[in-house]
Amino acid sequence: MTNPVLPDHQPIVQHGLVVIEGIMGSGKSTTMRFIAKALEDANQPALAIHERSDPHPVRATDALQNWFEPWLESTAAQLAARAISRWRLFADEVRLGTSIPVLDGQLFHGDLTNLFLMEASFDEIAAYCESLAQLIAPLHPLIVYLRQDDVERAVRTVCAERGEAWVKYQVEWKLKGPYAVRRNLVGLEGLISLYQDYRQTTDTLFERLNLEKMVIENSGRDWVRYNCQVLERLGLSNASVAK
């Protein structure tokens, strides 16, 4: 991937891809938009990719009739293979472009979440994640992991903020999957239990990830401070950008 250069021939940003990860409501979309704007303000073309972008460049469930319930027509292995194929094409396209994609999830949050809901084993999920890491490694990505120490509190907070209709949507979707059904997870308490288990998985995956990465514990919601941390890691701390 070719980055614009400054007069001293130093790249503006060393990373060819930024991925924002975390559980639902952790601030992925907001952070993704902030980073994309900061890059643009620093004269670095950026491509903000929301998790709801349609078509989505890497989301494998888009090709399924039952995208909402992929377990109805796909095995975990089939979904993983389809996702890896899409990521390979995406990485090739990014290398040929000049924009830095800023992804709202999709390394963990996205098809990997579906693999978890489909009750893929940890070894299967870890192998999938390692395959993705190898595909994007040539892009020198930065993985930003938005984390909350107290998962239950984080889930209850976002559910209270987004209301009963949103909670009902999340429960009816995620607790239909094999993982939740086998464990008899129901209602808000079941959703909390699901995300506690999921976060244990992603914490381990993040720890093993052999890519440049940073973790931000953002329970305090001090977004100005968190954004400045990300800008500093991207080498934009001295850039003229809105914080």
Choose among 220, 218, 221, 158: nearest CA to 188. 158
DSSP 215: E
Both structure tokens of 17: 């891809």
Q: What is the DSSP letter of 139?
A: G
Residue 175's pLDDT is what?
97
Q: Is the pLDDT of residue 119 over 70?
A: yes
**In which region does residue 25 sit, left (phi positive, over 0), alpha (psi from -120 to 50) or beta (all else)?**
left
Task: Using the predicted structure, report yes or no on whether residue 240 has a pLDDT greater than 80.
Answer: no
Show the domain range for 115: 18-148+211-234
**Structural domain tally of the chain?**
1
Query: pLDDT value at position 19?
Result: 98
The pTM of this model reads 0.91
Arithmetic mean of pLDDT, 81-95: 97
Asked if residue 70 has pLDDT above 70, the reply is: yes
Any domain includes 181:
no
Q: What is the mean pLDDT of residues 6-11?
A: 42
Residue 85 placed within a domain: yes
Q: Is the peptide bond before 45 cis (omega within 30 degrees of 0)?
A: no
Alpha-carbon gap, residue 26 to 109, rounded angstroms: 11
68 located within any domain: yes
Mean pLDDT of 71-96: 97
pLDDT at 63: 87
Mean pLDDT of the 19-25 span: 96
CATH code of the domain covering residue 216: 3.40.50.300
How does residue 40 score in pLDDT terms, banded at 50, 70 and 90? very high
Tell whether the model's pLDDT for residue 178 goes beyond 70: yes
Average per-residue pLDDT for the chain:
92
Assess if residue 25 is contained within a domain. yes
> Is residue 192 situated within a structural domain?
no
Going by pLDDT thresholds of 50, 70 and 90, the confidence category of residue 239 is: low
Task: Note whether residue 191 is domain-resident.
Answer: no
From CA 115, how far away is CA 32, in angstroms rounded?
Answer: 24
Report d(CA 243, CA 228) in Å as an integer: 7
Q: Which residue has the tokens 């870890």?
A: 126
Read off φ and ψ for residue 49, nearest 5 degrees.
Answer: -120, 100
Q: Which residues, 6+ apart, have CB-to-CB distance to 162 below 8 Å?
A: 25
pLDDT at residue 186 greater than cutoff 80? yes
- pLDDT above 90: residue 238: no
